[in-house]
Amino acid sequence: MIRAFRLAFFLALPALAGFLSPIRADEGMWLFNNPPKSQLKSKYGFEVAPAWLDHLQKSSVRFNSGGSGSFVSADGLVMTNHHVASDALQRMGTKDRNYYRDGFHAKTRAEEFKCEAMELNVLMSIEDVTERVNGAVKAEMKAAEAFAARRAVMAEIEKESSEKTSLRSDVIAFYQGAVYHLYRFKKYTDVRLVFAPEQQIAFYGGDPDNFEYPRFDLDFTFFRVYENNKPARVEHFLKWSKEGAKEGELVFVSGHPGRTNRLNSVAELNYFRDTGYPFLLQRLNRWEVLLNAFSGRSEENARQAKEFLFSVQNSRKARVGGLAGLMDPEMMGKKEAFDARLKEAAAKDEKLKEARGAWAAIEKAEKVRAQLIRPYTVLEGGAGFNSDLFGIARTLVRASEEKPKKNQDRLREFRDSALESLELQLFSEEPVYDEYEIIKLADGLTFLAAELGYKNPVVVRALAGKSPQLRAAELVLNSKLKDVGERKKLYRDGAKAILASKDPMIALAKSVDAAARQIRKRMELEVEEPKRQAYSEIAKVRFALEGINAYPDATFTLRLAYGVVKGYEENGKKIPAETDFAGLYERAAEHLNKPPFDLPPRWVEKKSKLDLKTPFNFVCTADIIGGNSGSPVVNRNAEVVGLIFDGNIQSLVLDFAFTEEQGRAVSVHSKGMIEGLRKIYEAHNVADELEGR
């Protein structure tokens, strides 16, 4: 699964697209205000009309929890993946009702289930504010001054826009800080669940089939957005294709890829290889053991931990795969050649002389990053306090300090344009489970002591003379922060209430906050700011050589990708472009219908009702990555032909470089979705709405 920013293990790296060469094949995660017009026209004869692009943009949805989606009816029906919806499904669940496992179907609008703390964003407009942002940073400024000036002007731009338009307004950096765009979003916070299948058919084949192909996953879920307690009427939504995806057809993906590292220097990739990924794998392996042990104690434990465990397992596979790529001499050799060409161009052109020291600056920053990453992760990153209650406490403590400041002086997550989203999460009624919180926090405190040293003052304050297990139990069981009313009171009354609070979790957050802020400041000023300035200069070299018709690295912003429905060859065997329902039943029979290849009971009972030749999943050459989960796949008429839910194992190198030799995006076929809705689930109300009946 490619949920949010997750990838997984891959076996080998095929030939990669050349660096610093004209975009070829079906490469690119393109900005909607700079689409690949010439490529589509020359290769496919497709004209990107402004109206077509605007319609697709405003039909696309971002799940702020991670993932993508789209409007598929005028009444605010939203399509995404089951694994994007899994947070909501788990929150809805109780000891007696497991919606994540068993699915959900609202047969009427009245039965649609309101989701806690879910925010969906729709991109309404883009404005280039590069000149204003860069103009605030003067050449003579030191790193701290430049950081403060940039933060201030970005906050100012966002505040002005929010007040003028009432839209969520975020300034986004592209090309590692060379370009800044103001993105304005319409925000939906009343989101209700309409339909979800069983987790077993959404993630059929489980871990063994994850990132493999052929696949047989009905990985879809439908929500509806509401305004003023009524289904929202949306102008832009994607109509359903009657035929669905066909082999050889040009298709488009509109979604929110999370992060790529294709433009990173060799020094930064070396950091990932030598320090970043190994350290992260250490944490992921630790969490996986912990969560598996907790889940094995009871079915209710397994329900509580299911989503976090799924996330950890996918992230582990991602970093194992990423580490393998970073150890591949061919790929790293091409990255070195990429850097060398840029350096040579900067050396020869006097107009680019400011870039000549950029690579050394990045290398220096990465050395500092390697020194800071462990204390940063346990303190500011929160890995030493792995608890939802601690996260709530930290937010309350910091809000009491940050909100009284001028908007431009606050930590970015507390700026005016972000407060509404922050409050939505902070005041969520999502349940907190004591035993689950205790085991996570105890492990976090143990990790904190291991990383900083048992006698470190921060560790001494955090443990307060107790073992991690006893301290975690004391903190969780005596905290009142499970009560949303208590959170609202502390948030409303600010510093005075925080100072007077006797809540042990608040006290813990206060006791470690100075150290966390200090390490954050060092990371911002000694790592992030020098790199931002250096990459900005390197981007100018790229622009001088390539022009502006290049796409930036992914940033969890809306992008357009394109490709064709196309199979591939693996080990001398031709892999077809699509699978069908017959293949699903054959796969189950091969494994004697045993987990994770067992079929949900209704799929066994209703097999005879299905047209087994109906397409189920398919692959295409579109350029996607984690965050694209839930992205619609559309044809030339902007009609839904599929739903992205994964990439195959050969696509996992896409974090660093594009390939379409074998790399493929994997989608649920639109005809397969309708077949399942009507004949397995009898969800005719959903299918009728999709097909416009």
More confident residue, 651 or 505: 505
3-state secondary structure of 237: coil
What local confidence, expressed as pLDDT, does residue 6 receive? 34
Of 546, 569, 585, the residue that ends a domain is 546
pLDDT band at 310 (very low <50, low <70, confident <90, very high): confident
Residues 6+ away with beta carbon under 8 Å from 138: 146, 149
Q: Does residue 37 lie in a domain region? A: yes
Of 546, 576, 603, the residue that ends a domain is 546
Same domain, 457 and 599: no
Same domain, 310 and 438: yes
Q: Does residue 467 lie in a domain region? A: yes
Same domain, 389 and 487: yes
Same domain, 305 and 242: no
What local confidence, expressed as pLDDT, does residue 65 receive? 86
Average pLDDT rounded to a whole number, residues 560-564: 98
DSSP calls for 268-318: HHHHIIIIIHHHHHHHHHHHHHHHHHHHTT-HHHHHHHHHHHHHHHHHHHH
What local confidence, expressed as pLDDT, does residue 24 receive? 59
Answer whether residue 4 shows pLDDT above 70.
Answer: no
Average pLDDT rounded to a whole number, residues 212-224: 97
Answer whether residue 7 shows pLDDT above 50.
Answer: no
d(CA 225, CA 336): 47
Which range marks the domain in which residue 676 is found? 30-119+189-261+556-691
Q: Whole-number mean pLDDT of the chain?
A: 93
In angstroms and rounded to an integer, the radius of gyration of the C-alpha atoms of the chain is 25
The string of pLDDT tens digits covering residues 400-415 is: 999 999 999 999 999 9
Q: Count how many domains the chain has.
A: 2
Phi, psi angle pair for 211, to nearest 5°: 70, 15
Answer whether residue 486 shows pLDDT above 60.
Answer: yes
Average pLDDT rounded to a whole number, residues 279-292: 96
Q: Which helix (H) or strand (E) holds 113?
A: strand 113-114
Same domain, 437 and 492: yes
Same domain, 320 and 353: yes
Same domain, 459 and 531: yes
DSSP category for residue 531? H
Sheet holding 632-634, edge to edge: 30-31, 559-564, 250-255, 632-634, 640-647, 665-669, 615-620, 578-580
Same domain, 194 and 333: no
More confident residue, 626 or 637: 637
pLDDT band at 313 (very low <50, low <70, confident <90, very high): confident
d(CA 368, CA 235): 50
What local confidence, expressed as pLDDT, does residue 649 receive? 81
Same domain, 442 and 388: yes
Average pLDDT rounded to a whole number, residues 115-124: 95
What local confidence, expressed as pLDDT, does residue 123 receive? 98
What local confidence, expressed as pLDDT, does residue 5 receive? 36
Per-residue CA distances from 3 to 65, 487, 655 (Å): 10, 30, 14
Burial 448-464 (b: 16+ CB within 10 A, else e): bbebbeeeeebbeebbe
The string of pLDDT tens digits covering residues 550-560 is: 899 999 999 99
Nearest residue to 198 (alpha-carbon basis) of 602, 593, 607, 595? 602
User: Phi-psi bin for 547: left (phi > 0), alpha (psi -120 to 50), beta?
Assistant: left
DSSP calls for 466-495: S-HHHHHHHHHHH--TTSHHHHHHHHHHHH
Per-residue CA distances from 517 to 74, 134, 381, 441 (Å): 46, 26, 11, 20
Cβ atoms of 651 and 325 within 8 Å: the answer is no
Q: Which helix (H) or strand (E) holds 211?
A: none
- C-beta atoms surrounding 40 within 10 Å: 20
Same domain, 435 and 530: yes
Same domain, 495 and 567: no
Q: Does residue 359 lie in a domain region? A: yes
Token match 């689409």: residue?
35
Answer whether residue 2 shows pLDDT above 90.
Answer: no
In the Cβ-directed half-sphere of 218, how many Cα atoms lie within 13 Å? 26
Most confident of 5-14, 299-308, 522-531: 522-531
Token match 């009313």: residue?
485
Answer whether residue 11 shows pLDDT above 80.
Answer: no
Residues 6+ away with beta carbon under 8 Å from 203: 1, 82, 83, 210, 217, 219, 596
Per-residue CA distances from 348 to 63, 173, 499 (Å): 45, 28, 60
Of 546, 574, 590, the residue that ends a domain is 546
Tell me the β-bridge partners of 573.
570
CA 504 to chain centre: 32
DSSP calls for 115-160: PTT--EEEEEEEEE-HHHHHHTS-TT--HHHHHHHHHHHHHHHHHH
DSSP calls for 29-68: -EETTS--HHHHHHHH-----HHHHHHHHHHEEEETTS-E
CA torsion 180-184-190-192 (nearest 10°) is -70
Same domain, 507 and 598: no
What local confidence, expressed as pLDDT, does residue 19 receive? 43
pTM, two decimal places: 0.90
Average pLDDT rounded to a whole number, residues 667-692: 98
Q: Does residue 154 lie in a domain region? A: no
pLDDT band at 12 (very low <50, low <70, confident <90, very high): very low
Sign of the torsion angle spanned by Cα atoms 159, 160, 163, 168? negative
d(CA 470, CA 417): 40
Token match 């061919």: residue?
330
Average pLDDT rounded to a whole number, residues 311-339: 87
DSSP category for residue 653? G
pLDDT band at 247 (very low <50, low <70, confident <90, very high): very high
What local confidence, expressed as pLDDT, does residue 611 receive? 98
Q: Does residue 428 lie in a domain region? A: yes
Looking at 98-107, 187-196, 239-248, 312-321, which range is the least confident one?
A: 312-321
pLDDT band at 9 (very low <50, low <70, confident <90, very high): very low
pLDDT band at 1 (very low <50, low <70, confident <90, very high): low
pLDDT band at 54 (very low <50, low <70, confident <90, very high): very high
Cβ atoms of 202 and 216 within 8 Å: the answer is no
Average pLDDT rounded to a whole number, residues 327-336: 91
3-state secondary structure of 514: helix
